[in-house]
């Protein structure tokens, strides 16, 4: 992994700056893939695409509209990933302006809540998180398209999470890509075990 330095972004409300690293090169060495589509790759990390201002707490996309010139101050904080509730807040405030952004934010709600289980904690630590999880799952099912391969796999994952094991198995079994047989096998194994939780898919 080779970092290329930092990009800088400006809060559109209070003009506070944040920084975000960018990669010149990376690789998937020691990467871990999970059934919800998340990949943890130490040598190819994901950086925030949306953040919350550390000063006024406004949520905004880190894109061409908020990017600014290099700053000389040493006090510029790093852009932080949003919590599951801040991701939902972003949706409520209209930042999911199209289907792609809606899926992006909702999949990261899924990932962020799953991170609790992924790293050894109970999936839900309070009632509000469970409510958010359930509503987010239902919304994802409504907007995902079974005709898109990656989205079909995510639909199968959500069905499995919800205990709809037969539907999940039907979806996974219908995938006709020989190079994904290892993914299908991992799903079917966990479906047969009636496992509702996220699981790691061992990379070939």
| Longest pairwise C-alpha distance within the chain | 57
Low-confidence residues of the chain: pLDDT under 70: 1-3, 24-28, 204
Query: How far apart (Å, rounded) are the C-alpha atoms in residues 149 and 144?
Result: 10
Q: In 62-136, at which residue ranges do the beta strands (DSSP E only) sit?
A: 67-68
How far CA 115 is from CA of 17, 124, 199, in Å, comes to 28, 11, 11
Overall size of the chain counted in residues: 204
Write down the pLDDT at residue 71: 80
pTM: 0.93
Write down the pLDDT at residue 25: 64
Query: How far apart (Å, rounded) are the C-alpha atoms in residues 138 and 143?
Result: 9
Average pLDDT, the chain: 93
Query: How far apart (Å, rounded) are the C-alpha atoms in residues 58 and 61?
Result: 10
Write down the pLDDT at residue 22: 85
Residue 25 · residue 2 · CB < 8 Å:
yes
Q: Which tokens in the block code for residue 171? A: 């979806």
**3-state class (DSSP) for residue 22:** strand
Digit-coded pLDDT (tens) for 75-96: 899 999 999 999 999 999 999 9
């Amino acid at each position: 992994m080779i970092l290329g330095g930092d990009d800088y972004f400006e809060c559109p409300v209070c003009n506070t700056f944040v920084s975000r690293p960018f990669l010149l090169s990376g690789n998937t060495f020691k990467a871990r893939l999970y059934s919800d589509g998340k990949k943890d790759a130490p040598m190819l990390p994901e950086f925030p695409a949306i953040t919350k201002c550390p000063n006024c707490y406004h949520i905004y996309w880190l894109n061409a509209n908020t990017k600014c010139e290099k700053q000389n101050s040493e006090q510029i904080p790093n852009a932080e990933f949003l919590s599951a509730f801040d991701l939902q807040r972003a949706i409520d405030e209209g930042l999911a302006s199209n289907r792609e952004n809606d899926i992006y934010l909702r999949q990261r709600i899924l990932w962020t809540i799953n991170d609790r289980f992924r790293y050894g904690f109970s999936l839900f630590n309070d009632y509000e998180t469970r409510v958010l999880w359930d509503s987010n799952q239902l919304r994802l099912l409504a907007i995902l398209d079974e005709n898109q391969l990656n989205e079909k796999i995510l639909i199968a994952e959500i069905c499995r999470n919800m205990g709809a094991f037969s539907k999940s198995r039907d979806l996974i079994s219908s995938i006709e890509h020989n190079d994904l047989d290892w993914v299908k096998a991992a799903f079917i194994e966990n479906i047969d075990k009636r496992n509702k939780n996220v699981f790691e898919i061992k990379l070939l």
